[in-house]
Amino acid sequence: MSRVPDHSERLYALFAAQIDGELTPAQRDELNALLLESTAAQELYVDLVAQHSELSRIHRGLGPWGDFDIPKLDLSELAVSHGEGFKAAVMRWSRHPAFVSASAAVILICCGLAVWLATDNWDPHRSDIAATNSEIARLVWSDEAVWDGDAPNGGGMSAGQQLMLCSGLAELKYKTGVIVILEGPANFTVGGLIQVGATEDDDSDTRPSLLISSPSNSGYLAFGKLLAWVEGPQAKGFTIQLPNAAVEDLGTEFALQVHGDGASDVIVLTGSVDLSCAPDQDTPRQRIRMTTGQAAFVEAGGETLTRRRVVDYRFINAMRRRLEASRNDPAALQNDATIIAHWKLDGDANDSTGSHPGKLGGDTDFVAGRVGQAAKFDGDGDFIATGTDPLPKSNFTIAAWILPDSTTERMYIAGTQRSGDKGAFLMVGHNGFLAAVFPGIDRNRDAASIIKTVAPKNWTHVAMTVSSTDGLKLYANGSLVAMDGAMTSQQSVSNFTIGRRPDKPPTDDRYQFWKGLIDDVAVWKGVLTNTQLRNVVNLGAENFNRGVASALPKR
C-alpha cells in the first residue's frame, strides 16, 4: 500500500481547487508537474477523486423530504416558451460543444443492456399492470426507432402494453390529449400500475406507490427518458409512475429520466406536478409540489430526494424538438398510418387486407421474389387489375419492389389513371428514371428522379408519399429521389392496376406493360415516416411499424 506522499498537502490543495472549479492555468501546470513526479502522487490523486466521487454519491440522497428545498433552474437556454425562441435556443445548444457530447449520449447504452436494466426494474411490478383491450394511446411518430420486440401494431395501444425502445425517438398520443415523447433506450408501459389488493378502505398514505385512478391517463416508466405535455381537462391528472416514485401532472410539461439503478430525475418545464414516493410499506407516502423550473432527484429506493448539484437537462432537447414540431404541425399527429391494401403476390393477386382483390390478366405468373414470391409479367398483355381505388385523395403512401428486365422503354408499375383527368401512378422511364404521375385536365403533374435510379435486372424498392402539407415525395430503396410540394392530392378513379396502364390507351402499344417482376405492392392511409419506409424496405410492407432495422440479404 502506498504511503501518502510528502507533497500531499500541495497536491490536495490543487485537487480541491480543481473540484471547486477554481483551478488556474498556473495551478494546472503545477498539478501536472506534481503528478509527473511520482506514482505515489498519482495514486493519491486517484484516491482523492474516488473518495470525492463516492462521497458525492453517498450524500446525494441524504436530504429529508420534509425540509427539501428544490432549486430553480435557469431554463433560459432551454426556452420554456414555445416557438422561435425555443428553436433559437436549440440551435444555440446544437452549436455548444457540450451538445455534441449530449447528442452522442442520446444513443445511450445498447439495447440489450437497456432492456436488461429495464427488466431488472420492471419485473416486480409486471403483474400489477391492468391490461385492457381498448385503445388508450397511439404511436403517432417515431424516428430512428429500434424496438425490442414488436412495435405497436398499427399504432394503437391498450393499457398494459409495454414498449421496449432500444434507441431513437417515439411519440405517443393518449386519447386524453397527453403527448409523451420517449427516447430510447426506454421501457415504458401504457397505463399505470394498479395496486394489487388495494381497496377503498386502504389508507392511501401508507401505500408504497400511487393508486392509479385512471389507467387510461397514465403510464409507467421503468427505465429511460420521457417528456410529457399535458394540456386540457381530460389530460389533467396524467400520472407517470416510476420505479421509486410517481409524478402526477397538474397541467404542465415535464421531463423524466429513470437511470439504470432506478434513481430518477424529475424536471418541470412549465406548470406544476405533484411528486410522491414512499420507500416501503411502513413509511408514509410523502408528496411535494414542484413548479416551473424545478428539478428533483429521487434516489433508487425512493426513500430520499435531493436537489442535484449539477442539473443536466440537455437530455430533454431532442424530445422537446419533437414536441415542438407536433404542436406546431397538427398534421404530424395524424401520422397513424395504417395499411389499407397489400398485394403480397405470393402465388395469387389477393389483397391481404381483403378489400381490393386483384384479377390476373394475360398469363401473369408467380416466381421467387423479393419477399416471398413475386408476380412475373412478360410485357405482352400481363397485368393485375382490381377495379377499385384504394388510394385516398391525400395523405397516403404506395410502395412496391420492382425488377425490370430492361429500362429501355416506359413501363407502368402500379396506380390509377384516367388520361387527361384523374389518378396517381408510379412508372419507370427510359434509362431507368423513376416517376410519380398525377394525370390532370390541364396537364399531368409529375415528379421524376434522375436516370439510372432503377437498374435493369436488379431489385429496387420504390415508394411515393403524398401529404396534404408536404406534397409528393418519391423514394428509391428508402432514399428520397424526387419531390414536388405542389402535388398534395390526387383525383380518385377506381381502376387500380399493377403491371400496365389501367385505362384504355389510344393504341395497345401504349399500355406500357411491365416486363419483369413486381413484388409486395402496398398502400397505406397516411404518410409513412422515413423510419417506417426503411422498415418497409428492410422488413417488408406488413412490418412497416416494426422497429428492428436490418438489411435484407443480397440476392
Site for another protein, residues 367 to 396, rule: CB under 8 A: 371-372
Instruction: Among 24, 76, 92, 113, indicate the residue that binds another protein (CB under 8 A).
Output: 113
Phi, psi of 99 (to 5 degrees): -65, -35
Q: How far is the CB of 319 from another protein (least distance, A)?
A: 16
Instruction: Among 16, 331, 450, 455, indicate the residue that binds another protein (CB under 8 A).
Output: 16
Total residues at interface with another protein (CB under 8 A): 80
Q: DSSP label at 200?
A: T
Instruction: Among 12, 350, 378, 477, indicate the residue that binds another protein (CB under 8 A).
Output: 12
* Matching residue, cell 385512478: 213
Q: Which residues pair with 183 in a beta bridge?
A: 169, 225
Phi, psi of 141 (to 5 degrees): -165, 150
Instruction: Among 63, 177, 301, 505, indicate the residue that binds another protein (CB under 8 A).
Output: 63
273 close to 264: Cβ distance less than 8 angstroms: no
30/448 Cα distance (integer angstroms):
66
- For 496, residues 6+ apart whose C-beta sits below 8 A from its C-beta are 341, 356, 385, 386, 387, 388, 389, 390, 391, 414, 415, 416, 502
Q: Is residue 26 a contact residue for another protein (CB under 8 A)?
A: no
Q: Is residue 552 a contact residue for another protein (CB under 8 A)?
A: yes
Q: Is residue 47 a contact residue for another protein (CB under 8 A)?
A: yes
197/301 Cα distance (integer angstroms):
22
Cell of 524: 397505406
Q: Is residue 51 a contact residue for another protein (CB under 8 A)?
A: yes
Please, which of residues 299-328 interact with another protein by CB under 8 A?
A: 306-307, 309-310, 312
Identify which of residues 51 and 206 has a Cβ nearer to another protein in the complex. 51
323/266 Cα distance (integer angstroms):
18
Identify which of residues 150 and 405 has a Cβ nearer to another protein in the complex. 150
Please, which of residues 224-253 interact with another protein by CB under 8 A?
A: none
Instruction: Among 152, 160, 224, 260, indicate the residue that binds another protein (CB under 8 A).
Output: 260
71/309 Cα distance (integer angstroms):
10
Identify which of residues 32 and 355 has a Cβ nearer to another protein in the complex. 32
Q: Is residue 110 helix, strand or coil? A: coil
Identify which of residues 25 and 124 has a Cβ nearer to another protein in the complex. 25
Q: DSSP label at 486?
A: T
Instruction: Among 79, 89, 90, 115, indicate the residue that binds another protein (CB under 8 A).
Output: 115
Instruction: Among 23, 250, 332, 385, indicate the residue that binds another protein (CB under 8 A).
Output: 23
User: Amino acid identity, residue 237?
Assistant: G
How many residues appear in the chain? 555
Identify which of residues 261 and 348 has a Cβ nearer to another protein in the complex. 261
Please, which of residues 145-164 interact with another protein by CB under 8 A?
A: 148
Identify which of residues 527 and 549 has a Cβ nearer to another protein in the complex. 549
Instruction: Among 97, 233, 354, 506, indicate the residue that binds another protein (CB under 8 A).
Output: 97
First to last CA, the chain: 62
Identify which of residues 65 and 513 has a Cβ nearer to another protein in the complex. 65
Q: How far is the CB of 111 from another protein (least distance, A)?
A: 5
Q: Is residue 332 a contact residue for another protein (CB under 8 A)?
A: no
Q: How far is the CB of 113 from another protein (least distance, A)?
A: 5
* Matching residue, cell 423510419: 531
Paired sense of beta strands 239-241 and 218-229, if any: parallel
Q: How far is the CB of 540 from another protein (least distance, A)?
A: 5
348 close to 328: Cβ distance less than 8 angstroms: no
* Binding window for another protein (CB under 8 A); candidates: 11-19, 79-87, 220-228, 477-485: 11-19
Q: Is residue 59 a contact residue for another protein (CB under 8 A)?
A: yes
* Matching residue, cell 396506380: 415
Instruction: Among 78, 79, 102, 398, indicate the residue that binds another protein (CB under 8 A).
Output: 102
336/435 Cα distance (integer angstroms):
26
Q: How far is the CB of 217 from another protein (least distance, A)?
A: 31
Instruction: Among 6, 24, 57, 406, indicate the residue that binds another protein (CB under 8 A).
Output: 57
285 closest CA partner among 123, 63, 65, 62: 65
Q: Which residues of 456-472 are buried (b: 16+ CB within 10 A; e: fewer)?
A: eeebbbbbbbbbeebbb
Q: Is residue 213 a contact residue for another protein (CB under 8 A)?
A: no
Paired sense of beta strands 272-277 and 286-291, if any: antiparallel
Instruction: Among 5, 44, 145, 340, indicate the residue that binds another protein (CB under 8 A).
Output: 44
Q: Is residue 296 a contact residue for another protein (CB under 8 A)?
A: no
